[in-house]
Amino acid sequence: MNVFKTHLALNTFLEQHAPASTGLVPTMGALHSGHLSLVKKACDENDWVIVSIFVNPTQFDDPNDLKKYPKTLPADLDQLARLKEKLVVYAPNEDDLYPNNTTPKNYPLGPLATLMEGASRNGHFQGVATVVHKLFNAFNPSRAYFGEKDFQQLQIIRQLVALENLSVQIVNCPIVREASGLAMSSRNVRLSPQQQQKAPLIYQTLTTARKNKTTESPQQITSDVTAFFQNHPAFELDYFCIVDSKTLQPVERFLPQQENRAFIAVKMGEVRLIDNIKF
């Protein structure tokens, strides 16, 4: 499997193989089964697949979080090498993607970027949009793959594609969960054994909330979930909300023709975890 540090070298290599289509899977490494499900789908649907591994500094508002983000390149390459012959990895240094400065762009992303993760992580989505746009420009992929765990990010990317009139097709992939129900995340390895035991409560709460939809209002469910986490010593609740899946605006009542989703972000010690569920 070929691993490239520069997009120019990767493109030169791919040009020699004249791919019929290319699928891009942008990642920040520390690959787990969730990432691999995206890569496998990309492998099924494209001639060549590019997996990018780059911990993007412009999407972190907390330097400590950036410093502690797990970096496991040799293990990542090992997992990818087994998947497809026509798969290449782009694992650049910062200056290949940010040759002049590491300042994010300022896209008119609107309210999508200031709710939930956007409200809690200042400038996060401008950083995501900046790096994803750079990757799209560098490789001009036919398709790009994103997981629904970062559902808000997925909507932001779709908005970026519309704003910049890009031709790439955005493919969404379902959340992959551990047997306990905990959504797979590169951050899970930072949980202590005690925290790992309690973390499945996040998804259990989401499924209970969904069940209660038939008898309770969004406000009642939100207040129950908030009370549960506020009284639990292992968690610090950042937000729980029930929103319209398209606009991500909170809903006042459940309407039959509207698709809703519940989103949650909690901290367990220093580790921030997010999850969501379709109602």
Closer residue to ligand PAF in complex, CB, 134/261: 134
| Smallest gap from residue 130 Cβ to ligand PAF (A) | 9
Query: Of how many residues is the chain composed?
Result: 279
Catalytic residue among 35, 124, 133, 232: 35
Whole-number minimum distance, CB 55 to ligand PAF, in Å?
8
Which residues, 6+ apart, have CB-to-CB distance to 244 below 8 Å?
251, 258, 259, 260
The CB-side HSE value for 138 (13 A sphere, CA atoms) comes to: 27
DSSP letter for each residue of 48-80: EEEEEE---GGG-S-HHHHHHS---HHHHHHHH
When the beta carbons of 69 and 239 are compared against ligand PAF, the nearer one is: 69
Closest contact distance (angstroms) between CB of 251 and ligand PAF is: 26
Do 188 and 170 contact (CB within 8 A), yes or no?
no
Q: Which is nearer to ligand PAF, 155 or 260 (CB)?
A: 155
What is d(CA 126, CA 225) in angstroms, rounded to the nearest whole number?
A: 30
**Phi/psi of residue 155, each to 5°?**
-65, -35
Binding site for ligand PAF (CB under 6 A): 26-28, 56, 59, 128, 131-132, 150, 153
Strand partners, 25: 51
Q: Name which of 132 and 241 has its Cβ closer to ligand PAF.
A: 132
Amino acid of residue 151: F
Phi, psi (degrees; rounded to nearest 5) at 262 = -105, 135
Confirm if 274 and 117 have CB atoms less than 8 A apart: yes
- Please state the closest distance from residue 153 (CB atom) to ligand PAF, in A: 6
Nearer to ligand PAF, 54 or 229 (CB): 54
Q: Is 35 a catalytic residue?
A: yes
Residue 170 has a CB neighbour count (10 Å cut-off) of 16
DSSP 99: S
**Which DSSP category does 176 fall into?**
P
- Closest approach, Cβ 132 to ligand PAF, in A, equals 6
Among all residues, which ones are annotated catalytic? 35
